[in-house]
Copies of this chain bind each other. A is one copy, B any other.
Amino acid sequence: MVKKLDARNEDARNTAKHLRRPGGFLDREVRDVARSIVEDVQRRGDEALREYTERFDGVDLEEIRVPAGEIAAAKSSLPDDVREAFEVSISNVRRFSAREMPKGFELRRNGTILGQRLRSIRRAGIYVPGGHGAYPSSLVMSAVPAGVAGVDEISVCAPPGRDGKVSRWVLGVAGLLGLEEVYAVGGAQAVAAMAHGTESVAPVNKIFGPGNDFVTAAKLEVFGVVGIDAPQGPSDVVVIADASAFPERVAYDLMAQAEHLSGASAILLTPNEKLIEDVEPLVSGEPAELVSLVRVRDMAHAAEVSNAYAPEHAHVISEDHEAVLNDLREVGMVAVGDFSPVALSDYAAGPSHVLPTDGTAAWASPRSVHDFLVRTNYMNFDPGALEELAPHVERLARLEGFENHAKSVGIRRRGGN
């Protein structure tokens, strides 16, 4: 059953609260299970990996690391149209990622040089989720920005299917991207292996999602030992539409998001009662349970509710979509206009489909080259510049009780200490 709300007289934050379906990775039991798996893999290595893979994936793994020949075979067996589709996707994501690349800088003034340099992380671990199916697109959306950022080594973990093998599509994409390090391991145990290393799995510097609740909880567990990206939970979309929208198209936009199932949310915000009436009967089946149709006062109010909800995706279908776009703030990806269904960016438009979920758009960003880069600052003072800044630094250091800090400056001043 579709959920219907009249939010016209309600505070936007309250409406957002009613619509929110929180991610399960914060659940205490999920966290505890993930923690015990992480600790066990840290202690017992490959032996634990094999046991969890048997328990959760029903598979007795032959080899934890996928042999190079299997990746090559998967690549060469890609049907031409599928290969072409992946190549278009990779090329578009690469182009967008390249445009994102930031630059270092250097400021010079009065004998002082202050600078910032950028470098890629050495080893990135990318988790590719399994579950209902295989998601090769997910590998594209993380590995391409990693490559553009210049990461030295990219390692991939993906759960094995019933046949004990990683999906041929995921391996095919790995082949297209030139990735050689793929492990047939999923779940919290994969995250544990990438963080702590095992006999077969080399540890990485930073681990990237998305994955299910246990994967995300395990990432939170190992954060600090290694870096992680922000947690990713179930997918969501807010469609913001006025009378110009076609009901059947809006229905598919909602159903597309809802077919992710597992807690996904698909929300229509519209001031147009007729649109709600027309969309409702078109939304059917299991996904309908995850759909909410919400009447708002006007498009500005829709943007306000959307910002309070902080969706992963917003799709704006309006006669004045620029105005709505300008009002939107907390959101990962905005699809603008009727000819820009969210599915385009899910697969091939260019911006990554790894996006902040669960309202984390309030503080988290889409996957990008930035996730794979680290900054280093530097400074270089000449004697005159040191002399100018020194009295202030000595004063503040002594005020905080750090005498040696003050002396490390004083001893370098003209005339010594």
| Residues of A in contact with B (beta carbons under 8 Å apart) | 23, 25-26, 81-82, 84-86, 88-89, 95-96, 99-100, 102, 105, 107, 112-114, 116, 119, 121-122, 132-137, 169, 205-206, 216, 220, 223-227, 230-231, 248-249, 252-253, 255-256, 258-260, 287, 321, 325, 328-352, 358, 360-366, 368, 370, 374-383, 385-386, 389, 391-393, 395-397, 399-409, 411-412
Oligomeric state, in number of copies? 2
Q: A84-B392, A381-B344 are in contact. Are A135 and B408 (CB under 8 A)?
A: no
**With A95-B107, A377-B366, A386-B339: A344-B409 Cβ-Cβ less than 8 Å:** yes
Q: Known contacts A105-B99, A376-B328, A383-B339; decide if A169 and B287 are in contact (CB<8 Å).
A: no
Contact in complex: B224, A26 (CB < 8 Å): yes
Please, which residues of chain B bring their CB within 8 A of the CB of A84? 392
For this complex, 10 residue pairs linking A to B, each with C-beta atoms less than 8 Å apart, are A85-B392, A100-B105, A122-B362, A132-B401, A135-B400, A259-B405, A336-B378, A341-B412, A343-B393, A348-B392
A396 pairs with B137, CB closer than 8 A: yes
Whether B220 contacts A407 by the Cβ 8 Å rule is no
Q: How far is the CA of A386 from the CA of B343 in the complex (A)?
A: 11
Residues of B within 8 A of A169 (CB): 399-400
Task: A17 to B88: give the CA distance in the assembly, Å.
Answer: 44
B114 contacts A377, C-beta separation under 8 Å = no
Which residues of the partner chain B approach A404 to less than 8 Å between Cβ atoms? 252, 255-256, 258-259, 287
Given contacts A343-B393, A389-B348, contact A336 B366 (CB under 8 A): no
Given A345-B377, A361-B376, 10 additional A-B pairs, CB 8 A:
A85-B395, A89-B392, A227-B363, A252-B411, A256-B405, A259-B402, A332-B377, A333-B377, A339-B383, A345-B379
In the bound complex, how far is the Cα of B395 from the Cα of A254, in angstroms?
Answer: 20
A362 neighbours in B (Cβ, 8 Å): 121-122, 205, 227, 374
A412: B residues at CB distance < 8 A: 249, 338-339, 341
Report the minimum CB–CB distance from A143 to chain B (whole Å): 15
Closest B residue to A374 using CB positions:
B365
Whether A346 contacts B381 by the Cβ 8 Å rule is no
A409 to B315, CA, bound (A): 13
What's the nearest-Cβ distance from chain B to residue A148, in Å? 14
Of A23, A100, A337, A363, chain B has the most CB atoms within 10 Å of the CB of: A363
Q: Are B400 and A344 in contact (CB under 8 A)?
A: no
**8 nearest CB pairs, A to B:** A227-B363, A351-B377, A85-B392, A252-B408, A334-B378, A336-B380, A365-B375, A343-B405
A342 to B393, CA, bound (A): 11
Give the chain B neighbours of A360 by CB distance below 8 A.
224, 227
Query: Which of chain B's residues have a CB closer than 8 A to the CB of A248?
Result: 411
Find the B residue at minimum CB distance from A363: B227
Please give the distance in Å from A206's CB to the nearest CB on chain B. Answer: 4
Q: How far is the CA of A382 from the CA of B345 in the complex (A)?
A: 14
A392 x B116 contact (CB < 8 A): no
Query: How far is A231 from B121 in the complex, measured between Cα atoms in Å?
Result: 17
* Residues of B close to A132: CB separation below 8 A: 401
Please pick, from B88, B321, B329, B347, the residue contacting A119 in the complex, using a CB distance under 8 A: B329
Contact A99 B95 (CB under 8 A): no
